[in-house]
Structure 1
Amino acid sequence: MRRSHLAGRWLCLALSTSGSALAQQAPPPPQETPAAPAADATEGEPFRVPTVQVVETSEAPASPDSASRRDPSGALTVIRVDEFGGAARDTAAMLSTAPGVTLQDVGGYGQSKSLVVRGASSNATLVLLDGIPINGPGGIADLSRVPAAMAERFEVLRGGAGARYGSGGLGGVVNIITRRPGADARVAGELSYGSWDTALGWLSASGPLAGGEALVLVHGGTSSGRFPYLFDPSPTLPGDALVEERRTNNDARGAGGLLRLRRELGGGFSADLLGELSFDERGLAGTAQNPSVDARQSGGRGSASLRVMGTLPGGVRTNARAYYRRDRIALAGGSWSQSEPQVQQLGGVELEGQVLLGGWHALSAVVSMGGESVTAADTNEASGGDPSWLRASVMAMDEVLLWDGQLTIAPSLRVDRAGPYTLLSPKVGVTVELPADFELRANAGRAHRAPSFLELYVRQGTLLPNPDLRPESALYADAAVVHRSDESFASVGGFASLYEDLISYEAYPPGAARPYNFASARVVGLEAEGEWRPHPLLSGAFSYTLTVSSDLQRDERFYLRELPYRPRHKLAARVMGGPRWLTGRMEVVAQSAHALTRDGSMSLPGRAFVHAGLASTFGSRPELTVSCEVKNLFDARAEDFVGYPLPGRAVYLSVAGNFSGMETP
């Protein structure tokens, strides 16, 4: 019975960390079922047209990369793509609704978008596509290159994740879970068109194939990006009239595809093959004061992974994975032009095992090995030409169940070798079941990020490398109280991080910038999130983050000033209601003003956007949904983190279809 109780405990842990758990819960496995974490029980129907009703989901094989499985006590928010509904859904915008997450965007379809999580820099947050890192050259994951059409849900794990995921997870980890195949034949797609000639679309087909299940998805989009904005031609003269101009060289386009195959191998083992390919191109418009008329960026990404999962004799759950990713970026025109594109390649193998011992604790271990390389047009002598690294890591974790499941302690330790750097990342997590459906969770540990190849070796225009950089590190702790019922979910908690040896670019005379390690910085804050579903036709969700950062560098220009690009307040709220034939939704996203420079001499004003939409769904086979979405309903004027005007009010129309054949008995 204690073995079965621990199995149920693993299931509860997987569900308890989700801010959207009410819409995702699956029935627990029978008591005689072996201990199988149900992290992927949230996957549900792969192409459910957005409605507000809570739909029962079907169980799916657990994903070893699921954050709820790798970090059962972590601060985790799960975001389902179909809960946002409407047209022109944007990956970065959806992720920014999670607590602790701030979006750094250049505005509009296809333009650069990255995340700051709990005050860590953009290159200190790992972004994974089904477990494969997609952080490109420089360590920053550009989410504009990840269309929402590929994703079924996002897992946002906040806080240091070095002990679970390795180098790069100082602020947290975002795992993008792609759509999964189904046993029943199904065809689905969506077309959207809106302001500034923005057109988006995707088409998918899934069903049985050669004794297994298959999914094929293609997607694409384009936009002129010529939105109007108000420009001050003489900012030094107060009171002068603003002039309306249109953004130029701001167009973007992209296309790609996803292939996923799943098959049972017999003997309790299954195989999952994933392939992803994408291409994109965009103009680099510069700023309103210094526009660029011909700077362009083009890129392409390809990735593949093969995973085999099963249970060995003795109840040892195992999975083995091999993966590869190639990322290409080329710059032309303007001052960013390069004679050759940068190509980053990485690949590796990973083996994981989990076993229950004595019915009261579960041991997990991960061993991985791989390599990484990058080509560049201009490297310094220290790189020895095109640099490459070997990577290896070992991670061990134990989940100890005490007091009949009321207390779970999960210590873990990971050792990473990234090129010349050895990184040690310990962590301990605690979960306590409290009366009246309350729960307490807490975490403390240390995480690291090794410098990237670009920071160490590669010259990029006026950005110079520094081969003497040291890895960044973070000491972190957090705690939260969680409450859930059949109709609601709420979580309130605090966090603190001490970042050491931060890597930041500083002026390097006569006209360049170079990265250096700086002493330390402190970030403390408060996170709150909740969801309420009082009726099948009505739901609401919110998140709020208070972030207080302090630069601890012993320089009077910077000491105790707030770090740039970290707004103190951030709020996101969403409400949806209505029957299938007319569902309405409204969303508010706001953040306070914040500094743009370390000395506080420049700042970005606060902003608040209101989005609204209506959708109407008809039929079942086929099922058709027509929707209208208004972004920035009140046409709020705002700027991004480099002074780039963000788009004003935009309107998008969408038509989505979903056809499925007869269900398999």
Structure 2
Amino acid sequence: MTPSPLSRLALCAALAPLAVQAQTAGPASPIMLDTVVISGGLSPVAADAYGRAFTVLTADDIERRGLRTVQDALRTVPGVSVSSTGSSITQVRIRGAEANHTLVLIDGVQAAGGADEYVMSSLETANIERIEVLRGPQSVFFGSNASAGVINIVTRRGRSGTHYGGAVEVGNGTAASGWFTQRGPRGGLAFTASARDDKGFDQSGDGGEKDGSDRQTIGLTGDWKPADDVTLGFTLRRAGEDYDYDAVNFGATDAGSYLIDDPTLYGERTEVSGAAWAEYAMLDGRLTHRLEVQGTVLKLSDNGGDETRGETRALKYRLSYGLDGQPVESAAHLLNVMVERIDDENNAGPDFDRRNTSVALEYRGFLDNGLDIQAGLRRDDNEVFQDFTSWNLGLSWRIPDTALRLHASAGRGLVNPAFYELYADDTFTVGNPDLRPERNTGFDIGIEAGLLDGRGLIDVTYFNETMDDEITYVFGGAPDGVRASYVNEAGESPREGIEVAARLEATDALDLGLAYTYLSAKGPDGSVEIRRPRHELGLTASLAVAGGRGRITADLRHVAGNYDTQFWGAFATEELPDFTVVNLSGGYDVTDSLRLTSRVVNLFDEEYSDVWGYASAGRTVHVGLETAW
């Protein structure tokens, strides 16, 4: 069989680090990295042993690049497409899948209640410790809505001792945040709070009223060891947001007339989530049990109208066993078993609560030859849809006596239809209760290479995924022939691409970074999928100045080959103009505990759109102060 052009390109890209490594004088040694543990399985796993494609954005990454919202942070990650219809309604797609195929977690708890897609909105990065982006089918570990990937947002935990601090910023609005952490030998507590009143911009692009958002978030987490073999913990979070938006003109003839400035339209969003858990270790740590209860409620309303409410409740039990007789934390052969019960309810279908009971198994092997294995299997007993088996396999091999690591994974996942897709009955849309879940099957293979005696790292990954039974919105598809409805498309929706991530310590003062994604995503009929750019390139350069007390960072983002439907005229799918956006950020340590910050968003005032008819923010300047003790 003759390989496709993309497959040949992927092979060349994957071999490029080998060529660079071959040019390095002397014997190679693996790049030394800080130990990073990610939520990539039924229990945490070390990043350098993880076989699946992932990105971790740390608090330092976020601060250095001046990223103040999670949606902006995700725009820097390979394999992730972010599209916004205004600053408060943002969708995230991983590897060209649908937006509701990515599960968003905050401290391990589902961010959206009622089996809905989580709208990223103005979710702030204040008090975030790290953001984990896991790409590829993850349903074995996280269930429905994780068929394309998972975004896990981990909030501040704090280090040993008592610490506190905060930040303020002014620019196109105001923002403030504060935190307090205390950690001792038996546990810790972390309290965080933030508020951002963003004046926004005119989404219609007509020079009218700014469409802003006002968001407040409060969080509390804690853990405690009442005995050496028992640990208790909890997390609580509440966020509220008011935001503005503009009206849609159904008689539009072009992009400029599609959105109409309307200062009267507004929305409200409330998010409440929490979890409580207990862990018990037996047999000198060789056997551990974890029991956790979780809950999430999401409420939305527009213009003071009826409120939509979704709620998800979960009960989870996990057993971990060191098969080699070692404690779970250090076992070379580990078995995880999980039993999970999830209940969803949503007033989009008030008479159709959903329940799902699952059993999952995971084996991990950390072998002496540098080969690490993760294999998982899950069976869902679903009261509404057919039972389903998902699976996942990940391999990571650190090639001896080199700075190379090969990684590969394959898996299968699913997404259950949303309540609205099944049971909607309003002016414009009728649900389809006969919808089938969407299924995603795929694989990836990549190579990670340390460069220049550990001063750099590059990772190149090729992925190939296929969606079956893709759900689409059809105008006039309802039984009455007038309203719209949802249907499962016949055939397969193929997606493939290349993800590249690299970083380099060019000098003691200058750090460079790169993120690139090539994506081909098509529907069953061969049509291009919308809001999934073919090319996304990110470049970053960060320079230490003033003897290391200051730092200046520049970020460039280029997007090309992005298609979207024009909701006027022939309702055609057309390509949006390519665009390039440059952002600057900087910081200076006035004292050891006080830092002056600044950032310029869209430095060259580029006019661009992620979605036809919706403008994006122009140039804005912000300054702030941060403190920590």
TM-score interval w.r.t. the shorter chain? 0.7 to 0.9
Instruction: Report what 1:513 is aligned to.
Output: 484
Given candidates 89, 100, 104, the residue that maps to 2:68 is: 89
Match status 1:588 vs 2:563: no
| CA deviations over 1:271-303 (Å, ceiling 9, x no partner) | 221110111111121355232443321121111
Aligned to 1:363: 335
CA distance in 2, matches of 1:619, 1:210: 30
Measured after TM superposition, the shift of residue 388 of structure 1 is: 1.0
Per the alignment, residue 176 of structure 1 pairs with 153
How far did residue 524 of structure 1 move?
A: 0.8
- Residue 13 of structure 1 corresponds to which residue in structure 2? none
1:61-101 per-residue CA deviation (whole Å, 9 max, x = no partner) reads: x9966475899311011011322326561111111211100
- CA shift, 1:203, in A, is 0.8
Distance 1:636 1:85, change over 3 A: same
State the SS of the aligned residue for 2:475: strand
Hey, what does 1:374 align to over in structure 2? 346
Q: Which runs of 5+ in 1 are unaligned?
A: 1-20, 27-37, 43-61, 232-244, 380-384, 553-558, 660-665
Q: 1:535 to 1:419 in 2, by over 3 A?
A: farther
CA contact (8 A) 1:229 1:247 kept: no
Task: Assess if the C-alpha contact under 8 Å between 2:505 and 2:511 holds in 1.
Answer: yes
Contact 1:124 1:139 in 2 (8 A): no
Q: How does 1:286-297 map to 2 (within 5 A)?
A: 286=247, 289=257, 290-291=259-260, 292-297=262-267
Q: 1:395 aligns with which of 360, 363, 367?
A: 360
CA distance in 2, matches of 1:101, 1:356: 35
1:132 is the counterpart of 2:120:
no
Counterparts of residues 477-492 of structure 1 (less than 5 Å)? 477-484=443-450, 486-492=454-460
Give the corresponding residue for 1:309: 279
SS of the aligned residue for 2:73 comes to helix
Alignment-derived partner of residue 428 in structure 1? 393
How many angstroms apart in 1 are the aligned matches of 2:572 and 2:389? 34
User: Corresponding residue for 1:12?
Assistant: none
Alignment partner of 1:113 is 2:90 = yes
Structure 2 residue corresponding to 1:75, chosen from 49, 53, 77: 53
Q: Which of 466, 488, 503 matches 1:498?
A: 466
Corresponding position of 1:25: 34
Q: 1:573 — aligned with what? A: 539
Q: Secondary structure at the match of 1:163?
A: helix
SS of alignment partner, residue 218 of structure 1? strand
Which letter does structure 1 place at the counterpart of 2:52?
G
How far apart are residue 407 of structure 1 and its match?
2.6
Q: How does 1:35-54 map to 2 (within 5 A)?
A: 39=37
Deviations 1:581-629 (A, max 9, x none): 2211000112113221398642322221100122101322xx1111110
Task: List aligned pairs for 1:256-267, cutoff 5 A.
Answer: 256-267=217-228
Q: 1:22 to 1:634 in 2, by over 3 A?
A: farther
Partners of 1:85 and 1:23 in 2: CA distance: 23
What is the CA-CA distance between 1:305 and the residue it aligns to?
0.7
By how many angstroms is 1:419 displaced? 3.6
* Secondary structure of the structure 2 residue equivalent to 1:104: strand
Alignment of 1:344 onto 2:310:
yes
Determine the structure 2 residue equivalent to 1:328: 299
Whether the 8 Å CA contact 2:396–2:407 is kept in 1: the answer is yes
Task: Provide the C-alpha distance between the structure 1 equivalents of 2:600 and 2:42, rounded to a whole number of angstroms.
Answer: 38
Question: 2:215 is matched with which residue?
Answer: 254
Aligned counterpart, 2:380: 416
What SS class does the counterpart of residue 605 from structure 1 fall into? coil
Conserved in 2, the CA contact under 8 Å of 1:592 and 1:606? yes
Q: Is the 8 A contact 1:431 1:442 kept in 2?
A: yes
The code of the aligned residue for 1:387 comes to F
- Post-superposition offset of 1:329: 0.8
The answer to whether the 8 A contact 1:521-1:551 is kept is yes
Contact 1:591 1:607 in 2 (8 A): yes
The one of 554, 571, 584 aligned to 1:612: 584
Match in the other structure for 2:7: none
**Would the alpha carbon gap of residues 97 and 413 (structure 1) be closer, same or farther in structure 2, given more than 3 Å must change?**
same
Give the CA deviation at 1:425.
Answer: 0.4
The CA distance in 1 between the partners of 2:205 and 2:142, in whole Å, is: 44
Q: Which residue identity is paired with 2:55?
A: T
**Cα displacement (A) at 1:537:** 2.9
Cα separation, partners in 2 of 1:67 and 1:644, compared to 1, 3 Å:
farther
**606 and 189 in structure 1: CA distance in 2 versus 1, 3 angstrom threshold:** same
Question: Which of 607, 610, 614 does residue 640 from structure 1 map onto?
Answer: 610
- 1:204 paired with 2:179, answer yes
Measure the CA separation in 2 of the matches of 1:651 and 1:269: 49
Q: Does structure 2 retain, via aligned residues, the 8 Å contact 1:153–1:178?
A: yes
Q: Greater RCO between the two (CA within 8 Å, min separation 6)? A: 2
Instruction: State whether structure 2 residue 507 is matched by structure 1 residue 532.
Output: no
206-215 vs 183-192, which moves further: 206-215
Counterpart check, 1:546 vs 2:518: yes
The letter for the 1-side match of 2:476 is Y
Q: Distance in 1 between matches of 2:520 and 2:565?
A: 16
CA contact (8 A) 2:127 2:179 kept: no
Partners of 2:538 and 2:300 in 1: CA distance? 33
- Alpha-carbon separation, structure 2, partners of 1:477 and 1:137: 29
Give the Cα separation in 2 of the matches to 1:188 and 1:22.
34
CA distance in 1 between counterparts of 2:245 and 2:136 reads 32
CA distance in 2, matches of 1:67, 1:220: 33
Q: Secondary structure at 1:551's aligned position in 2?
A: coil
Contact 1:67 1:76 in 2 (8 A): no
User: Which residue number in structure 2 is paired with residue 214 of structure 1?
Assistant: 189
Question: CA 1:345–1:601 in 2, change beyond 3 Å: closer, same or farther?
Answer: closer
**Amino acid paired to 1:206:** T
Moved more, 408-417 or 137-146: 137-146
Q: Determine if contact 1:227/1:648 at 8 Å carries over to the other structure.
A: no
User: Do the aligned partners of residues 539 and 459 (structure 1) sit closer, same or farther apart at CA in structure 2, a change above 3 Å counting?
Assistant: farther
Does structure 2 retain, via aligned residues, the 8 Å contact 1:112–1:144?
Answer: yes
- CA gap of 1:208–1:398, structure 2 versus 1, over 3 A, is closer
Counterpart amino acid of residue 302 in structure 2? L
Where in structure 2 are there 5+ consecutive unaligned residues? 1-29, 249-255, 326-331
Q: Distance in 2 between matches of 1:268 and 1:456?
A: 46
Q: Which residue of 2 aligns with 1:437?
A: 403
Question: What is the CA deviation profile of residues 452-478 of structure 1, one whole-angstrom value per residue up to 9, with x for unaligned ones?
Answer: 112111335523311111000011010
Determine the C-alpha separation between the residues in 1 that align with 2:335 and 2:439: 27
Looking at structure 2, the residues matched to 429 and 418 of structure 1 have their Cα atoms a distance apart, in angstroms, of: 26
The structure-2 alpha-carbon separation of the partners of 1:39 and 1:324, relative to structure 1 and needing over 3 Å to count, comes to: same
Distance in 2, matches of 1:538 and 1:285, equals 43
- The CA distance in 1 between the partners of 2:208 and 2:464, in whole Å, is 43
| CA distance 1:581–1:342, change in 2 (3 Å) | same
SS in 1 for 2:272: strand
Helix, strand or coil at the partner of 2:264: coil
Percent of aligned pairs with the same amino acid: 21
Classify the secondary structure of the residue corresponding to 1:127.
strand
For residues 309 and 631 of structure 1, what CA distance do their matches in structure 2 show?
45
What corresponds to 1:57 in structure 2?
none
RMSD: 2.7
TM superposition score normalised by structure 1: 0.80
| Per-residue Cα deviation, 1:351-372 (whole angstroms, up to 9, x for no partner) | 1122222375221111111311
Shift of 1:211: 6.5
Q: How many Å separate the matches in 2 of 1:607 and 1:67?
A: 38
AA of the residue aligned to 1:98: V
Query: What TM-score do the two structures reach when normalised by structure 2?
Result: 0.85
- Cα distance, 1:135 vs. partner? 3.0
Contact 1:228 1:648 in 2 (8 A): no
Q: Any conservation in 1 of the 2:355–2:383 contact (CA below 8 Å)? A: yes
Could you tell me how far apart the structure 1 residues matched to 2:69 and 2:485 are?
33
